[in-house]
């Protein structure tokens, strides 16, 4: 009897290991299939309102999935770096939620989707009383101004340290992108001044814009981004370094804002298709979070008219459909 039980235990263990291996194989194959399916797509174009972004190689295309156990699945170019741009907004929001709590964000920034482009001044006027959200530029600048620190340098160190913890390595600013962006950010400066007029910015307006511009110029690759997304997926614990970065509570308030506004005026369409919180950046990065399971990242610079990576949307949609990752899908 003992021998039979031992055999059954070993058999069950072997079946379990095989099942896990097959699941990992399926994920890797799906990522590779997504890459092959969309690598030749020619739609979209690089952002050109920031001159340095127009110079980025438009052929860069990498897909990485990191699960909450730290396993990595990838295809394409996973190591070419782009500037993080607006993807940084999700992680700075998490930082402020961790430091100050959700009431501060709700009352001082807002959590409503605007339905307007990411740099819309009209959205600020229309939503003056109800607030906007941390995924559009004005709300992101206000959120950055709320980061703890008495000086700009202290706030910047808090941001770069936290985003580095999310990525699992020290992130650095792409100085060429920062200089280029700082020279073309008159609209962000104008929005910060409007926030000041509305009493909706909580540090020096010009310095807040500069800190925000620096955070957008942090240099990342697809592996960094997938690790950052996977840290959100695992409730704030980095699955690669096993470091607690933010609390599950902070994540629980970050993901809904990403879901409702992460792809700007196309956020509703994205949520309808995938059911996943996501965040795009005009540098060509796109991340999506499957809570409790995966972080998915794509780097592909050509954008649609809303400023979202064309290949990124196609690839993540494909992966979500093939692996049945939509959390609203109940079978």
Binding site, annotated residues: 86, 137, 181, 188, 212, 264, 282
Query: Which residues does the annotation place in the binding site for substrate?
Result: 86, 137, 181, 188, 212, 264, 282
Strand ranges inside 111-217, DSSP E? none
Phi, psi (5° rounding) for residue 292? Answer: 80, 0
Q: Which residues pair with 325 in a beta bridge?
A: none
- Three-state DSSP at 218 gives strand
Cβ neighbours around 285 below 10 Å, total: 29
Checking DSSP bridges between strand 72-76 and strand 219-220, what pairing results, if any? unpaired
And the tokens for 122? 């009209």
Residue 127's contacts (CB-CB under 8 Å, 6 or more residues apart) are 110, 112, 114
Radius of gyration in angstroms for the set of CA atoms belonging to the chain, rounded to a whole number: 20
Report whether 239 contacts 182 (CB < 8 A).
no
């Amino acid at each position: 009897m003992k021998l039979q039980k031992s055999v059954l235990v070993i058999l069950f263990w072997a079946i379990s290991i095989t099942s896990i291996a097959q699941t990992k194989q399926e994920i890797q194959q799906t990522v590779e299939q997504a890459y092959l399916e969309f690598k030749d797509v020619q739609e979209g174009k690089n952002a050109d309102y920031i001159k340095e972004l127009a110079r980025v190689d438009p052929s860069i295309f990498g897909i990485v999935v990191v699960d909450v156990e730290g396993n990595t699945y990838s295809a394409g170019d996973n190591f070419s770096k782009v500037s993080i741009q607006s993807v940084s907004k999700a992680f700075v929001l998490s930082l402020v939620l961790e430091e100050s709590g959700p009431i501060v964000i709700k009352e001082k920034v807002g959590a409503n989707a605007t339905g307007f482009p990411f740099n819309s001044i009209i959205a600020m006027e229309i939503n003056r009383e109800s607030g906007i959200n941390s995924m559009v530029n004005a709300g992101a600048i206000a959120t950055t101004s709320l980061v703890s620190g008495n000086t700009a340098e202290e706030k910047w160190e808090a941001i770069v340290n936290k985003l580095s913890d999310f990525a699992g390595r020290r992130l650095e600013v792409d100085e060429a992108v920062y200089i280029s962006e700082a020279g073309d950010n008159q609209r962000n400066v104008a929005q910060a001044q409007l926030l000041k007029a509305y009493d909706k910015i909580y540090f020096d307006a010009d310095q807040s814009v500069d800190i925000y511009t620096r955070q957008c110029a942090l240099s990342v690759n697809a592996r960094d981004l997938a690790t950052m997304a996977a840290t959100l997926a695992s409730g704030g614990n980095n699955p690669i370094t096993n470091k607690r970065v933010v609390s599950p509570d902070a994540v629980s308030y970050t993901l809904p804002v990403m879901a409702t506004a992460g792809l700007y005026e196309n956020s509703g369409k994205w949520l309808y298709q995938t059911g996943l919180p996501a965040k795009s950046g005009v540098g060509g990065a796109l991340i999506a979070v499957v809570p409790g399971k995966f972080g998915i990242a794509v780097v592909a610079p050509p954008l649609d008219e809303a400023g979202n990576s064309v290949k990124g949307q196609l690839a993540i949609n494909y992966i979500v459909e093939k692996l049945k990752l939509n959390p609203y899908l109940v079978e």
